[in-house]
Amino acid sequence: MSRFRTYRTEGVVVRQMPLGEADRILTLCSPDKGKVRAVAKGVRRMKSRFGGHLELLNRASVAVSMGRNLDTINEASAINTYGGIRADLRRVSRAMYIAELVDGFSMEGNGNREMYALLLRALTWLENASNLDLLLRWFEIRLLDVTGYTPELVHCVECRAWLKPGDHLFVCESGGAICPNCRAESSGALLPLPMNTMKTLRFIQRELAFDKVEALTVPEGIRKDMERLLRTYIRHIAEREVRSAEFVSLTV
Partner 1 sequence: MTTDSVRAAAPVARLADEFSKLPGIGPKTAPRLAFYLVRMPEEDALALAEAIVAVKERVVLCSVCYNIAETDLCIVCANPRRDRTRICVVEDALDVIALERTNIYRGLYHVLHGVISPQNGIGPEDLHIRPLLDRLQADDIEEIILAINPNLEGDATSMYIQQLISPFGVRITSLARGLPVGGDLEYADDITLGRAIEGRQEL
Applying CB under 8 A, the residues found at the interface with partner 1 are 15-17, 20-22, 46-47, 49, 51-53, 55-57, 78, 81, 83, 86, 89, 92-93, 96-97, 99-100, 103, 243-244, 246-247, 250-251
Please say whether the beta carbons of 161 and 183 come within 8 A.
Answer: no
CB of 22 to partner 1, least distance (A): 8
Question: CA-based diameter of the chain, in Å?
Answer: 66
Residue list 172-201, contact with Zn ion (CB under 5 A): 179, 182
CB of 14 to partner 1, least distance (A): 8
Would you say 55 or 114 has its CB closer to partner 1? 55
Considering only CA atoms, which of 193, 181, 189, 184 is closest in space to residue 224?
193
Handedness of CA 241, 123, 148, 192 (dihedral sign): positive
Question: Which partner, partner 1, Zn ion, none, binds residue 203 by CB below 5 to 8 Å per kind?
Answer: none
User: If binding means CB under 5 A, how many residues of this protein chain bind Zn ion?
Assistant: 6
Residues 6+ apart with CB under 8 A from 102: 12, 14, 29, 115, 119, 143
Any contact of residue 159 with Zn ion (CB under 5 A)?
yes
CB of 80 to partner 1, least distance (A): 9
Stretch that binds Zn ion, among 89-97, 124-132, 144-152, 160-168 (CB under 5 A): 160-168
Handedness of CA 134, 140, 141, 143 (dihedral sign): positive
CB of 199 to partner 1, least distance (A): 32
**Residue 244 to residue 22: CA distance in whole angstroms:** 25
Please say whether the beta carbons of 8 and 63 come within 8 A.
Answer: yes
Which residues bind to Zn ion, rule: CB under 5 A? Answer: 156, 158-159, 161, 179, 182
